[in-house]
Amino acid sequence: MRDTAPQPIHLADYQPPPFLVEDVALTFRLAPTATRVIAHIRFSPNPLATPGHDLRLDGEGVKLISASLNNTEITATPDATGLTIPAQDLPEGPFDWACEVEIAPEGNTALEGLYMSRGMYCTQCEAEGFRKITFYPDRPDVMAPFRVRIESDLPILLSNGNPASSGPGWAEWHDPHPKPAYLFALVAGDLVATTDRFTTMGGRDVALNIWVRRGDEDKIAYAMDALKRSMLWDEQVYGRAYDLDVFNIVAVDDFNMGAMENKGLNIFNSRYVLASPQTATDSDYASIERIIAHEYFHNWTGNRITCRDWFQLSLKEGLTVFRDQQFMGDMRSHAVKRIEDVLTLRARQFREDDGPLAHPVRPESYVEINNFYTATVYEKGAELIRMLQLLVGEDRYRAALDLYFIRHDGQACTIEDWIAVFEEAAGRDLSQFKRWYEQAGTPRVDVSDAWDDGTYTLTLRQHTPPSHGQPLKEPLVIPVAMGLLAADGTELLPTQVLELDSPEQSFSFEGLPERPVASLLRGFSAPVVLNQSLSREHRALMLAHDTDPFNRFEAGRTLAREILHAMVLEGAKPGPDYVQALRVMLRDEALDPAFRALALHIPGQDDLAASLHAAGHVPDPDAIHSARSTALRLIAEALIDDLLQVYESMQTPGPYSPDAKDAGRRALRVQTVALLARADQGEKAAELFARADNMTEQLGAWGALLAIGKGQQEGAQFYRQGTEERLVVDKWFSAQVMHAAPAKAASLAQELTQHPDFDWKNPNRFRSVIGALGANPAGFHNRNGAGYRLVADWLIRLDGVNPQAAARVSTLFETWKRYDETRQSLIRAELDRIMAQDRLSRDMGEMVGRMLG
């Protein structure tokens, strides 16, 4: 255990930086074990700060070789987190600081700062990685233009901004746009580019380059296409154009997160760039499209306008996620995209918000900021913006954004700045709305209704459960989009938005011909749990007739959840009415196949564990797993002819195309083949596996076989064809673990960690085994505790080399308090064991400490 727990940092303690940076010039002499970094920085006192401060520069793991002030050499003695030049040693007014440091990228396994990935140099500076490169005021409200010179024998040398000049063994870059250090990037390697061009609406001719390792050039066409569509979309929808002459994207194999929006030089986890029909699934293609767009959109929401401090992270992330969701809806289907986004929100953010790691969209304190790149900051943050748009209307939303871009370009901003542009553009007070940023936890909205002679009255009550440090919550402004349906399915009242802003409120609708069924929270208009008790007939009515596609989906999902609860708790069986409703949906050719595929998915194990817990039960992962398996078998047996027919009809003629239309057909095909396997029709999946010319169908078919205890032969073939493809081998690992039978999952995962291809220091590979075990809840939570032990062993091991990646995976334990006493004590023992480690990282210490509460 560590002697002293690291101290939290509080939003309330924010102080403006005492010194601003006018200009930065960096020279890198690259060498794997001894890279030299020479920095020349011009500082000036910040007029907004009190005078007389020491100069404090952050720096971690950097060896100081020499330093000077205004060209006079000085001696400075760094401590563990940086160095201080006392105020009395500083010249009056602006001054030049220079220093030379040495760093060792080869030994940097944390993948933060400057590191190496298979012979290539690469950086990751968000959130606080720049301090591992040189001494610097490493905070987002210090923005400066950068000049960078790279010296190396490697052929390709890249940094932010525009190329300035180059010669044999060196290259210089200039980024004229002032930026915080977290957006700094450098790449050097033997890379090849595919180049394209884009002309902005202002007439700027931009070179677009996607850099990959030799051999991967054939896998970037889709990413390039997505980039060009993103650039055009941001001009057309937000009026935002690109602002440099080049836009570089680099794919790197070792990367902690998905991708990074460094100015003019986006760096991507290769799994979100590289795609061919044989190596990537349709959902990989969709992720590539989304993440390419996300990083590109950051150029305005994040880079041109950045965050004042890390508490404001959702200012850039929530907004950019909202923008990428809008983009994906425009590119594909709004209805399907909304359903997928809500499923992700519930699976990740509601899970977080209901457990010990709950925190507000704008947290008030943190120990390690890297632990706050969460579903709450990202996905719930995006939901807040969606609600703002709904509350003020699309035109005023756009006016607010225009004002935001004009007023704050080049600044480091806060959530207050953001709310203010909405208040001005919409002419309304949003102080109550701001609570959404400040209160953790998912609000509950309980519904009751009454009918009296033509008048229908809806009563809505809201409450948000207590969370760590926030025992009492204030009422929020909750936009509830709703409509009313008649018993025959016709719409009596089209969608309108109710604003629920008190603990309890009633809304009356007069002059109705009959008692209606209320279709509430259409489009999932607010990130809340809606408790509306409806009969099965009414849910079936909504499933068949609601004009809102989200609520149609939701009605089916809620029905399925209720049936599964009854199966888990009472051993019930799915009734014929539910099966018939599924059949109608499955056969409805007017419906988008992608929508039908989603509607056929029954709630997953974790969804059921959460919902059973919310209903006051202690979830039993074994019972959930077996109820789901039984439900899938019974549904499949009852629908076998329909499934066979739809399976055949969903073939995609012609060569593979990742577009939404074909992807939707494949999704339905894979979904039907997986159900057929449950009804003893595994040969269909085997056949599909053998014939498939694309990864979506191949992996879908293999997964269907694995889920019924088959697929050995297919697994061997899958591995053989993928040996040279790291991203395919990741899938080979994860599919086996995810689909393993509960009693065998942990031992299989354990066995796979001994496989020669289990390169555990590579974050993607680590997650493909250890993370995948968490995606097999009955396996992970097996009563013998083997899953818990294995995960804890590996978290401890990874924490020693890559704390950030390890801390993220530790969230597998975040739901531990839902479970029975035996499981809780097994998990507690593992969390205690992690906590007792000698050299526990700050990242892991904070996560486990919060989970232990």
Q: Which residues are marked as active site? A: 295
Q: For the purposes of burial, counting CB atoms within 10 Å of the CB of 121, is it exposed (0-12), middle (13-18) or buried (19 or more)?
A: buried
Which residue in 274, 149, 155 sits closest to 210, CA to CA?
274
Q: Which of 24, 26, 83, 257 binds ligand 0A1 (CB under 6 A)?
A: 257
Please report whether residue 430 would count as binding ligand 0A1 according to CB under 6 A.
Answer: no
Q: For residue 699, give the nearest of 739, 645, 661 by alpha carbon.
A: 739
Question: Which listed range, 14-22, 257-265, 688-696, 757-765, lies at the site for ligand 0A1 (CB under 6 A)?
Answer: 257-265
Nearer to Zn ion, 320 or 374 (CB): 320
Whole-number minimum distance, CB 806 to ligand 0A1, in Å?
A: 13
Backbone φ, ψ for residue 189 (5° rounding) = 180, 180
CB-nearer residue toward ligand 0A1: 373 or 794: 373
Identify which of residues 260 and 675 has a Cβ nearer to ligand 0A1 in the complex. Answer: 260
Least CB distance from residue 125 to ligand 0A1, whole Å?
A: 8
For Zn ion, give the closer residue by CB, 320 or 525: 320
Residue 126 interaction partner, one of ligand 0A1, Zn ion, none, beta carbon < 5-8 Å per kind: ligand 0A1
Instruction: Return the number of other C-beta atoms located less than 10 Å from residue 394's C-beta.
Output: 9
CA distances from 91 to 54, 69, 144 (A): 11, 8, 20
If contact means CB under 5 to 8 A according to the sort of partner, which of ligand 0A1, Zn ion, none does residue 124 touch? Answer: ligand 0A1
- Token readout for 492 is 């009596």
Select from Zn ion, ligand 0A1, none the partner in contact with residue 108, using the beta carbon and a kind-dependent cut-off of 5 to 8 Å.
none
By CB under 6 A, how many residues form the interface with ligand 0A1? 15
Residue 138's binding partner out of ligand 0A1, Zn ion, none, with CB under 5 to 8 Å set by partner kind: none
Mark 369-398 with x for binding to ligand 0A1 (rule: CB under 6 A) and - for no binding. -x--x-------------------------
Q: Does 847 bind ligand 0A1 (CB under 6 A)?
A: no
User: Which does residue 465 bind out of Zn ion, ligand 0A1, none, counting CB within 5 to 8 angstroms by kind?
Assistant: none
Please state the closest distance from residue 111 (CB atom) to ligand 0A1, in A: 8
Write down the least CB distance from residue 320 to Zn ion, Å: 5
Exposed, middle or buried by CB within 10 Å (0-12, 13-18, 19+), for 88? exposed
Q: Which residues in 552-662 belong to E strands, given as ranges?
A: none
Nearer to ligand 0A1, 188 or 291 (CB): 291
611 near ligand 0A1, rule: CB under 6 A? no
CB-nearer residue toward Zn ion: 179 or 731: 179
> Is 279 exposed, middle or buried, given 0-12, 13-18 or 19+ CB atoms closer than 10 A?
buried
Distance of alpha carbon 75 from alpha carbon 70, whole angstroms: 13
Q: Which residue has the tokens 């090849």?
A: 192
CB closer to Zn ion, 320 vs 802: 320
Residue type, 180: P
Nearer to ligand 0A1, 323 or 396 (CB): 323
Told to check if 317 binds ligand 0A1 by CB under 6 A, we report yes
Q: Fill in the per-residue mask, 299 to 318: x = in contact with Zn ion (CB under 5 A), - = not in contact.
A: ------------------x-
> If 0-12 CB within 10 Å is exposed, 13-18 middle and 19+ buried, where does residue 838 land?
exposed
> Does residue 260 belong to the site contacting ligand 0A1 (CB under 6 A)?
yes
CB of 801 to ligand 0A1, least distance (A): 16
**CA distances, 638 to each of 17, 394, 633, 635, 661 (Å):** 67, 45, 9, 5, 28
In DSSP terms, 497 is beta-bridged to 481
Place of tokens 């986004």: 341
Nearby residues of 759 by Cβ (< 8 Å), 6 or more positions away: 765
From the list 231-239, 256-264, 609-617, 813-821, the region that binds ligand 0A1 by CB under 6 A is 256-264
Alpha carbon distance 202, 499 (integer Å): 41
Stretch that binds ligand 0A1, among 131-139, 258-266, 268-276, 608-616 (CB under 6 A): 258-266
Contacts of 738 by beta carbon, 8 Å cutoff, 6+ apart: 703, 772, 775, 776
Find the shortest distance in angstroms from Cβ 258 to ligand 0A1.
6
CA 327 to chain centre: 16
Q: Quick one: how far is CA 505 from the chain centroid? A: 35
Which tokens go with 257? 């997160």
Residue 518 contacts ligand 0A1 per CB under 6 A: no
464: contact with ligand 0A1 by CB under 6 A: no
Query: CB under 6 A: which stretch of 84-92, 255-263, 691-699, 844-852 binds ligand 0A1?
Result: 255-263
Q: Strand, helix or coil at 39?
A: strand
Pick 291 or 542: Cβ nearer Zn ion? 291
Taking CB under 6 A as the binding criterion, the range among 236-244, 251-259, 562-570, 768-776 that sits at the site for ligand 0A1 is: 251-259
Count of residues interacting with Zn ion (CB under 5 A) = 2
Nearer to Zn ion, 243 or 317 (CB): 317
Phi then psi dihedrals of residue 777, to 5 deg: -55, -45
Q: Coil, strand, or helix at residue 367?
A: coil
Question: Is residue 261 part of the contact set for ligand 0A1 (CB under 6 A)?
Answer: yes
Rounded Cα distance between 257 and 373, Å, is 10
Binder of ligand 0A1 out of 26, 157, 206, 259 (CB under 6 A): 259
Q: Which partner from the list ligand 0A1, Zn ion, none does 134 bind, CB cut-off 5 to 8 Å by kind?
A: none
Structure tokens at 784: 């013998």
Q: How far is the CB of 299 from Zn ion (least distance, A)?
A: 11
Q: Does 266 help bind ligand 0A1 (rule: CB under 6 A)?
A: no
CB of 261 to Zn ion, least distance (A): 6
Quick check: 295 binds ligand 0A1 (CB under 6 A)? Answer: yes
Question: For residue 689, what is the enclosing H or E element?
Answer: helix 682-691
CB of 364 to Zn ion, least distance (A): 21
- The owner of tokens 């032969």 is 713
249 contacts 220 by C-beta, under 8 angstroms: no
- Site for ligand 0A1 contains 292 (CB under 6 A): no
Closest CA to 44 of 64, 67, 58, 24: 24
Shortest distance, CB of residue 259 to Zn ion, whole angstroms?
A: 8
Segment 774 to 813, residues that bind ligand 0A1, using CB under 6 A: 804
By DSSP bridging, strand 306-307 and strand 412-413 are parallel
For residue 543, the partner it binds in Zn ion, ligand 0A1, none, with Cβ less than 5 to 8 A by kind, is none
According to the binding rule CB under 6 A, does residue 440 interact with ligand 0A1?
no
* Cβ atoms 382, 26 nearer than 8 A: no
H-run or E-run covering 116: strand 113-117
Beta strand 186-189 with 156-159 is antiparallel
Length of the chain: 853
CA distances from 681 to 633, 635, 701, 708 (A): 11, 13, 12, 10
Interface with ligand 0A1 in residues 119-178 (CB under 6 A): 124, 126-127
* Interaction residues for Zn ion, span 317-336 (CB under 5 A): 317, 320
C-beta separation of 490 from 421 below 8 A: no
Tell the smallest beta-carbon distance from residue 442 to ligand 0A1 (Å): 23
Kindly give the pairing relationship between strand 191-199 and strand 529-531: unpaired
* Residue 279, binding choice from ligand 0A1, Zn ion, none, Cβ under 5 to 8 Å by partner class: none
Q: Decide: is 702 part of the binding site for ligand 0A1 (CB under 6 A).
A: no
Contact assessment for residue 791 and residue 780, using Cβ atoms and an 8 Å cutoff: yes
Cβ atoms within 10 Å of 453's Cβ, excluding its own = 6
Which partner, Zn ion, ligand 0A1, none, binds residue 814 by CB below 5 to 8 Å per kind? none
- Can you give the binding site for ligand 0A1, defined by CB under 6 A? 124, 126-127, 256-261, 294-295, 317, 370, 373, 804
- Can you give the binding site for Zn ion, defined by CB under 5 A? 317, 320
